[in-house]
């Protein structure tokens, strides 16, 4: 067989059923092999769409997503998607065609140093230099993508290797098992937890990525320990909002209860989170009196931004279980007052949806959408105000159901991510919640929805603005609205109809119910275009350089 056949066969042998990509000159042999092979290829309409679809695929099923592109512009278009996967630790394998080995370094047609480009946006990357290494390299790419802290891995394959004659063999790529957390570290953690009177469980995206067993174990731990909890943007869904002691999202647009309580805590039990600046506000004012017990799979995160009194490095599921068992042996400090405080803060600072007027209040609409969606739905959002409203006002019962570009903040993430999720979760209702700015960033992926008849739902919140930037211009740039007014947007429903996608526009509060019903109950893809007030802001807001308790709640 050829190297190209080996690529496709190895993918199939590794259990890959779906890949997202776009053909071109230097990857043509692989596309020829796809034509006769056993892997379904989904043609996206820009390589960035393919990479972000692979991210959405991966995040919705907690397994590896695969994307494919040609050399040069194909590979450069992938880069944003790989950076997104890098910053959100998503297991993605990207395969790129490269000009033939003898032409590398000659500025050949569509030649770019993809290995060089990849260094800052991948966990690791390979240039296959010898055909005999091709299969082992692909297997290693999968192992690396999903072992330890997951991330994107790129394999660049010169064209001569794709056409080389090779023998393939059975392939395997098991993730390396995480090491067990050291007993002595757990003992130290137990000591701190027993003595804490105001502990907070600070949960990040790492818990979901550690797998459903880790999510279940974390829920057990939270139940048993009775410790009030907060989540990061990526931790949403790990703990259900219905828990009395769960205070919701922390940080710049977090809940008031979460931001107030975390600041007063005397112990942070951190699980798979990394003290991101959007969480901490001004770092040296974050939870100033708290000791830190930090679970992570990546040793670089322990002490990177905040000193950890105890670092718990390794297998989270096992570690939480053992920690819970140790805590059960002997009772700790009385948490009753702190628990009561959590319940009170949560009750006192519930979201309010009673905004007067006929216009559509986006938070209320998203709350209604959340209540109407079937239990196991996936929401992929874009980036900006609508993204924060999704995080604040929709409820998720699994982290795999909330796909949001957290680290990179990639506008244009949502539509391709929703497409990817629809493939890894074919029976789920998948909704892309987007804004008028973000939607146009990867609008070409409507072509992918049309091509494959995907039932992806699109909820477009249109304020004719780049809303989050507009909000900051209003609050921090004295109202100079530089390049954020999009009053010349296209007719979105007409645009969708050009791709055979049904839709309608709603502008008034009394149209919400029917609009959402049309969206959720459509059998195929549907675009619900929602006109909202351009002046609406996301509240609360921890302004830049402030401590988390210093939340702004109005523009005054």
Residue 321 lies near another protein (rule: CB under 8 A) = no
Residue 549, C-beta contacts closer than 8 angstroms, at least 6 positions apart:
259, 260, 263
Of 47, 111, 217, 445, the active-site residue reads 47
Sign of CA dihedral 8, 10, 11, 16: positive
Known catalytic residue at 411: no
Q: Is 307 in the site for another protein (CB under 8 A)?
A: no
504 alpha carbon, distance to own chain's centre: 28
Q: How far is the CB of 377 from another protein (least distance, A)?
A: 36
Taking CB under 8 A as the criterion, the residue among 2, 71, 89, 125 binding another protein is: 125
For 409, left (φ over 0), alpha (ψ -120 to 50), or beta?
Answer: left
Contact region for another protein (CB under 8 A) — 93-101, 125-133, 187-195, 389-397? Answer: 125-133
Of 422, 461, 501, residue with least CA distance to 54 = 422
The reply on whether position 304 binds another protein by CB under 8 A is yes
Q: How far apart are CA 408 and CA 133, in angstroms?
A: 33
Whether 86 sits among the annotated catalytic residues: the reply is: no
Q: In what order do the strands lie in the sheet with 65-69?
A: 40-43, 18-21, 65-69, 92-98, 152-158, 124-127
468 is catalytic: yes
Among 127, 236, 269, 290, binds another protein (CB under 8 A): 127
Query: Per CB under 8 A, does 340 bind another protein?
Result: no
Chosen residue from 40, 120, 176, 195 binding another protein by CB under 8 A: 120
Which is nearest to 83 in space by CA: 411, 389, 390? 411
Check 17, 109, 179, 187 and give the catalytic one.
109
Applying the rule CB under 8 A, the residues between 534 and 553 that interact with another protein are none
Rounded Cα gap, residues 247 and 254, in angstroms? 9
The piece of 16-24, 77-85, 115-123, 362-370 that touches another protein (CB under 8 A) is 115-123
- Six token digits for residue 134: 């091709």
- Nearest to another protein of 90, 496 (CB atom): 90
Nearer to another protein, 17 or 299 (CB): 299
CA distance 162 to 155: 12
From the CB of residue 487, how many other CB atoms can be counted at a distance below 10 Å? 7
Beta-sheet strand order (sheet of 310-313) = 246-249, 229-231, 199-203, 267-271, 291-296, 310-313
> Residues binding another protein: what is the number (CB under 8 A)?
16
By C-beta, is 84 or 241 nearer to another protein?
A: 84
Out of 86, 388, 411, 468, which one is annotated catalytic?
Answer: 468
Per-residue binding string, another protein, 414-453, x by CB under 8 A, is: ----------------------------------------
To 10 degrees, the CA torsion angle through 374, 378, 384, 385?
10
The answer to whether 299 contacts another protein (rule: CB under 8 A) is yes
Q: Which residues contact 314 (CB under 8 A, 6 or more apart)?
A: 178, 179, 180, 181, 182, 297
Q: Which of 119, 213, 485, 555 is close enough to bind another protein by CB under 8 A?
A: 119
Minimum CB–partner distance for residue 299 and another protein (Å): 6
CB burial of 399-415 (b: ≥16 within 10 Å; e: otherwise) equals: bbbbbbbbbbbbbbbbb
Q: Which of 115, 161, 247, 257 binds another protein (CB under 8 A)?
A: 115
| Site stretch for another protein (CB under 8 A), options 121-129, 430-438, 458-466, 513-521 | 121-129
Which of 123, 146, 159, 346 is flagged as catalytic? 159
Q: How far is the CB of 117 from another protein (least distance, A)?
A: 11
> Which of 184, 300 has the CB closer to another protein?
300
Task: Record the tokens describing residue 320, joined without a space.
Answer: 């939480």
Residue 159 among the catalytic residues: yes
| Interface with another protein (CB under 8 A), residue from 41, 45, 59, 123 | 123
Cβ nearer to another protein, comparing 148 with 409 = 148
Distance CA 17, CA 66 (A): 10
The β-bridge partners of 127 are: 156
Strand intervals (E) in 273-426: 291-296, 310-313, 378-381, 402-403
Return d(Cα 200, Cα 229) in angstroms, integer.
Answer: 5
131 binding another protein? (CB under 8 A): no
Minimum CB separation of residue 409 from another protein in Å reads 19
Which CB, 303 or 332, lies closer to another protein?
303
Q: How far is CA 317 from CA 13, 14, 69, 91, 181, in A?
A: 29, 25, 36, 19, 10
Kindly state the DSSP code that residue 479 receives in the 8-state scheme.
T
| Residue 129 in contact with another protein, rule: CB under 8 A | yes
Q: Is 144 in the site for another protein (CB under 8 A)?
A: yes
Is 176 or 183 the residue whose CB approaches another protein more closely?
A: 176
C-alpha 272 chain-centroid distance: 14
**Residues making contact with another protein (CB under 8 A):** 115-116, 119-120, 123-127, 129, 144, 298-300, 303-304
Catalytic residues: 47, 109-110, 159, 468
């Amino acid at each position: 067989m050829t190297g190209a056949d080996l690529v496709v066969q190895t993918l199939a042998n590794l259990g890959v059923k779906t890949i997202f990509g776009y053909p071109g000159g230097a990857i043509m042999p692989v596309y020829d092999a796809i034509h006769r092979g056993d892997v379904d290829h989904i043609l996206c309409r820009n390589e960035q769409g393919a990479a972000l679809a692979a991210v959405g695929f991966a995040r919705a099923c907690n397994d590896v997503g695969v994307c494919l592109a040609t050399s040069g512009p194909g590979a450069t278009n992938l880069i944003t998607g790989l950076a997104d996967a890098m910053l959100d630790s998503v297991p993605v394998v990207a395969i790129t065609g490269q000009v033939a080995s003898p032409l590398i370094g000659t500025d050949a047609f569509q030649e770019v140093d993809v290995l060089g480009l990849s260094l800052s946006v991948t966990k690791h990357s390979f240039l296959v230099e010898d055909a005999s290494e091709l299969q082992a390299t692909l297997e290693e790419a999968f192992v690396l993508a999903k072992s330890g802290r997951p991330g994107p891995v790129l394999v660049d394959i010169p064209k001569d290797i794709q056409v080389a004659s090779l023998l393939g063999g059975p392939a395997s790529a098991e993730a390396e098992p995480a090491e067990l957390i050291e007993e002595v570290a757990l003992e130290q953690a137990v000591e701190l937890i027993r003595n804490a009177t105001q502990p907070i469980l600070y949960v990040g995206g790492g818990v979901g990525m550690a797998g459903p067993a880790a999510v279940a174990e974390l829920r057990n731990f939270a139940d048993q320990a009775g410790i009030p909890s907060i989540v990061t943007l990526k931790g949403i869904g790990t703990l259900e909002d219905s828990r009395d002691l769960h205070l919701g999202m922390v940080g710049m647009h977090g809940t008031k209860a979460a931001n107030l309580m975390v600041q007063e805590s005397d112990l942070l039990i951190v699980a798979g989170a990394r003290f991101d600046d959007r969480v901490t506000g001004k770092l040296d004012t974050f939870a100033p009196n708290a000791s830190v017990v930090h679970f992570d799979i990546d040793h670089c995160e322990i002490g990177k931004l905040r000193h950890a009194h105890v670092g718990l490095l390794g297998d989270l599921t096992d570690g939480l279980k053992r920690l819970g068992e140790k805590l059960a042996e002997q009772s700790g400090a009385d948490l009753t007052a702190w628990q009561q405080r959590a319940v009170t803060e949560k009750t006192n600072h519930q979201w309010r949806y009673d905004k007067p007027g006929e216009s559509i209040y986006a938070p209320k609409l998203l709350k209604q959408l959340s209540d109407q969606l079937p239990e196991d739905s996936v929401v992929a959002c874009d980036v900006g105000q609508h993204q924060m409203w999704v995080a604040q006002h929709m409820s998720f019962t699994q982290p795999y159901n909330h796909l949001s570009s957290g680290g990179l903040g990639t506008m244009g993430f949502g539509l391709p991510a929703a497409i990817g999720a629809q493939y890894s979760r074919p029976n789920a209702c998948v909704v892309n919640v987007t804004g008028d700015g973000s939607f146009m960033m990867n609008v070409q992926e409507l072509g992918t929805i049309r091509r494959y008849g995907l039932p992806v739902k699109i909820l477009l919140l249109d304020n004719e603005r780049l809303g989050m930037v507009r909000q900051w211009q209003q609050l921090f740039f004295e109202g100079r609205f530089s390049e954020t007014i999009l009053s010349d947007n296209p007719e979105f429903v007409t645009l969708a109809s050009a791709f055979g996608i049904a839709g309608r526009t709603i502008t008034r509060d009394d149209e919400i119910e029917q609009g959402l019903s049309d969206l959720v109950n459509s059998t195929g893809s549907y675009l619900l275009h929602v006109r909202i007030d351009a002046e609406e802001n996301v509240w609360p807001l921890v302004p830049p350089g402030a401590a988390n308790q210093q939340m702004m709640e109005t523009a005054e």
